[in-house]
Amino acid sequence: MDLVGRIRRKDAVVGVLGLGYVGLPLAAVFARNGYRVIGLDVDGEKVAALKAGKSYIKHIPGSAIAAMNAAGFEPTTDFSRSAACDAILICVPTPLTANREPDMTYVVGSCEAIAPYVRAGQIVVLESTTYPGTTDEVMRPILERGGLVADRDFFLAFSPEREDPNNPDFETATIPKVVGADCPVAAEAAVALYASVIRRVVPVSSTRVAEAAKILENTFRAVNIALVNELKVVFTRMGIDVWEVIDAAATKPFGFMRFTPGPGLGGHCIPIDPFYLTWKAREYEVFSRFIETAGEVNTSMPAWVVGRTMEAFSQRGRGLRGSRILLVGLAYKKNVDDARESPTYKLWELLERQGVEVSYHDPWIPVVPKSREHGQFAGRGSVPIDRAGEFDAVLISTDHDGVDWKRLLADARLIIDTRGVFRTPHEKVVKA
């Protein structure tokens, strides 16, 4: 059962379950550091691509996959291979259901897939963002089904992922890693494992503290984004430019952190994670009204932007119905090709409901990808930005670098700017 020894000697076999934008870089960093790595994923296409030395993640080159393979990386859809792993790191999605409740399908499914193969001396670590109590209350019972006892025969830990694709300043090995476990052996093994590949490991006293820390990190962002979105609404009515206000406040060298308003809240983390906590809090009969209210503010932003667009049209003697609008920026934030939960989809739906003919331009997303929630737009192509003059208005939803904003200002008839791209007042520009 010399798990810690095997880890320290790097004899341990590391399993990564879920080879997406979190799991693949994690597998790479263990492979690069001399561990044998087995990659487990339900998606045969991903496994085939990896076996062929191909990457399906923009910021990970094929050469990195080839290097992993040369180091003995074994991508597979055969979950019985988890029996060969000393450590299994679970990196699967934790989305919301249609009723905005935690959707544990992937976490439960992953645990059920490896439960038949759990053996003495293994450690299973969950990395997916989730509510405090998941590791202990959801994972533990499933993994104990074979009769082994957690934190006696095999071990459990929680270590939140902090992957931030395309972040120019940080990568997996240099982002501090919080690690929580509920018994000393599990803690020692988990800390030793991550410390062997990540520069700084931050041990905490339990899995619940580690789960809660990650929720705080992302809820912190959601509520501060809601704050500046609410201030945008207030200051717009007062005729004050909120972006100028934020620039001024941001000169305070301490006690302030810049957030900027937008058309809503997108991505697979920030709009979702706070609701994992508020859902769990209700079980304890405590109500996190502040977090819920922030969610309402962020969720209301696309409708507010469409309202401002209506005002801009009516001030120019026009109605929305029958007009043509070009949405600029489908990605949920600048300089990424990810449209998950993008508020641009909400703007698209709301404008079409007003009878607007909507097109989009996004230099990072040439064709609208398939998605569960917004399948109706899949396959639409990005319109070249030099056709902006053909539209009654351009609505800037995501301010990618590299868009020729000066040219756009010259070409467009009207610009609805939700990102503060144009800071000096201009008769063509309406801030929203």
Catalytic hit among 85, 91, 111, 269: 269
Give the contact letters, 234-253, x = binds to ligand SAJ (CB under 6 A), - = no: --------------------
Compute the CA torsion angle 258, 264, 265, 271 (nearest 10 deg): 120
- Count residues binding ligand SAJ (CB under 6 A): 18
265 belongs to the binding site for ligand SAJ (CB under 6 A) = yes
Q: What's the CA gap between 292 and 258, in Å, rounded?
A: 22
332 belongs to the binding site for ligand SAJ (CB under 6 A) = yes
333 belongs to the binding site for ligand SAJ (CB under 6 A) = yes
* Cβ at position 268, least distance to ligand SAJ in Å: 7
Which of 139, 115, 112 lies closest to 128, judged by CA? Answer: 139
* Cβ at position 421, least distance to ligand SAJ in Å: 13
Q: Which two tokens stand for residue 237?
A: 């009515």
144 belongs to the binding site for ligand SAJ (CB under 6 A) = no
Q: Site for ligand SAJ (CB under 6 A): which residue of 162, 177, 346, 400?
A: 162
Q: Site for ligand SAJ (CB under 6 A): which residue of 15, 23, 132, 262?
A: 262
Q: What's the CA gap between 415 and 393, in Å, rounded?
A: 6
The answer for 109, left when phi > 0, alpha when psi is -120 to 50, beta otherwise, is: alpha
270 belongs to the binding site for ligand SAJ (CB under 6 A) = yes
* 269 a catalytic residue: yes
Segment lying near ligand SAJ (by CB under 6 A), choices 34-42, 104-112, 115-123, 265-273:
265-273
Q: Site for ligand SAJ (CB under 6 A): which residue of 103, 144, 153, 164?
A: 164
392 belongs to the binding site for ligand SAJ (CB under 6 A) = no
420 belongs to the binding site for ligand SAJ (CB under 6 A) = no
Q: Site for ligand SAJ (CB under 6 A): which residue of 103, 144, 188, 217?
A: 217
* Cβ–Cβ under 8 Å, residues 386 and 353: no
* Cβ at position 52, least distance to ligand SAJ in Å: 28
Q: Which two tokens stand for residue 337?
A: 């090709």
Segment lying near ligand SAJ (by CB under 6 A), choices 90-98, 114-122, 202-210, 216-224:
216-224
| Residue with Cβ nearer ligand SAJ (115 or 225) | 225
Q: How far is CA 261 from CA 36, 132, 169, 231, 245, in A?
A: 45, 29, 23, 8, 11
Amino acid at 65: I
Three-point CA angle 265, 271, 276, nearest 5°: 170
Three-point CA angle 169, 192, 29, nearest 5°: 40
Q: Site for ligand SAJ (CB under 6 A): which residue of 111, 225, 277, 394?
A: 225
Q: Kindly identify the residues of this chain, within the stretch 85-124, that bind ligand SAJ according to CB under 6 A.
A: none
Buried residues in 11-40 as b, exposed as e (16+ CB within 10 A): ebbbbbbbbbbbbbbbbbbbbbeebbbbbb
Q: Which two tokens stand for residue 119?
A: 């053996």
Q: Which two tokens stand for residue 309?
A: 């667009």
Segment lying near ligand SAJ (by CB under 6 A), choices 69-77, 214-222, 243-251, 285-293:
214-222
Which residues are catalytically annotated? 269
Contacts with ligand SAJ by CB under 6 A lie at: 161-164, 217-218, 221, 225, 259-260, 262, 265-267, 269-270, 332-333
